[in-house]
Amino acid sequence: MSAATKSYLAFVPQHAPDAHGVLAIVDGGDGPEAEALVSLPDAPSATVLASALNGVLLHQVTAERHLEAVLGGASASTRKTISALLPILATATEDPAASRVARQLPTAGDGGFLLFPTTNCPGRCEICGTCRNDCVECPECADGGCEICLPATLTPRTAAVLGHALAILADEAYDYVYRTRMSRDGAPGPLGAVLPCVTDQDDWFLRRYARTFDDLSSDLQVGRYPTPTCTAEEIALDLAIQDAERLYHDEHELVADLESDLPASRSDYDWDTLQDVLFQDKDYEGLLSHRMPLARDEAEGWFEEFGNVPPRDRYRGFRR
């Protein structure tokens, strides 16, 4: 980082008896500093704005919606400051280190899977007018005519089942590396987390492969779409969506348990849409059924970063 650039690490609300605002935690090259960003009329607005700005740093699905909601009641100068800030945050988040601090902040209120929306219906929609309550009785939406009130891609319940699939696949892959539990005898586990074409790759490959499931899961934890940054992550995400669909159809008790504290949505469990929306392309698909062992350099290519999505933080370490 050059001395001239200032990076935004996180945002926190500031509450005093008669004033409320948002502080930006910035790093101008000499370590972190707090900087007053905007003042707001009340405490909840300051809290929501700070959390929405952290959401922008983390690519949260609902960050923009929360921003709009809170800026609607804000002063013109606050709106101006925030709209000047957003393009800076958008560029900054290409650096994976940029979200390191925001990722560690404890979330007040809804965290994890609850960060995903149950509906995209805004309550007063600029296309279909009075549309509300998830588009109930809206003629425009019944005809599929509104491009704002589209079904939610990833709902809290879908995210919970997908998150569970990612967790068990990660463990199966780690078990194969360390010859533990189901893989004590050296055989790959029953879920097929480790594809036949890479079962004989070395431990370094297999550990990084197991970590891809955890990386995608870390996206879900911060309310972001699981976003593959390399071929290995695309394979992991495809396997996880397939396994989540299997859980949904076969493991009713487990699913009931996973969804118990989460709101329902008419868009729940649309696995086909996830397969369509979460991938840049489907070039990796042939590998899913590839039986012949891959050569070392071919397999290594699975971890080449795509370059058009922010890469993972290289200092993130391994869970196991």
Contact footprint for Zn ion (CB under 5 A): 121, 125, 127-128, 131, 135, 138, 140-141, 146, 148-149
Selection from 114, 122, 91, 65 nearest residue 8 by Cα? 91
Shortest Å, Cβ 265 to Zn ion = 13
* Residue number, 58 or 128, with CB nearest to Zn ion: 128
Among 64, 59, 63, 54, residue whose Cα is nearest residue 104: 54
Phi first, then psi: give them for residue 27, nearest 5 degrees. Answer: -130, 110
Q: How far is the CB of 72 from Zn ion (least distance, A)?
A: 17
Query: Judged by CB, which is closer to Zn ion: 131, or 294?
Result: 131
Query: For residue 277, what are the contacts with CB-CB under 8 A and spacing of at least 6?
Result: 153, 225
Shortest separation between residue 274's beta carbon and Zn ion, angstroms: 22
The residues with which 21 forms a beta bridge, in sequence order, are 14, 39
For the CB of residue 64, give the shortest distance to Zn ion in the complex, in Å: 16
Q: Is 34 or 127 the residue whose CB approaches Zn ion more closely?
A: 127
- One DSSP character per residue, 70-82 reads HHTTS-HHHHHHH
Closest separation between CB of residue 273 and Zn ion, Å?
Answer: 18
Determine how β-strand 32-40 pairs with β-strand 7-16: unpaired
**Closest approach of Zn ion to the CB of residue 65, in Å:** 13
- For Zn ion, the closer of residues 128 and 232 by Cβ is 128
Task: Calculate the dihedral angle through the C-alpha atoms of 223, 228, 233, 236, rounding to the nearest 10 degrees.
Answer: 60
Name which of 153, 98, 136 is nearest 277 in CA terms: 153
Least distance CB 143 / Zn ion (angstroms): 9
Provide the minimum distance between the beta carbon of 124 and Zn ion in the complex, in angstroms, as a whole number: 9
Nearer to Zn ion, 130 or 180 (CB): 130
First CA to last CA across the chain, in angstroms?
31
Instruction: Decide whether 137 or 203 has the Cβ nearer to Zn ion.
Output: 137
Residue with tokens 């990076």: 7
Closer to Zn ion by CB, 127 or 187: give it: 127
- The residue (of 140 and 300) whose beta carbon lies closer to Zn ion is 140
Half-sphere exposure of 118 (CA within 13 A, CB side): 12
In b/e form, how buried is each residue of 39-52, taking b as 16+ CB within 10 angstroms?
Answer: bbeeeebbbbbbbb
| All residues at 6 or more sequence positions from 136 whose CB lies less than 8 Å from its CB, including other chains | none
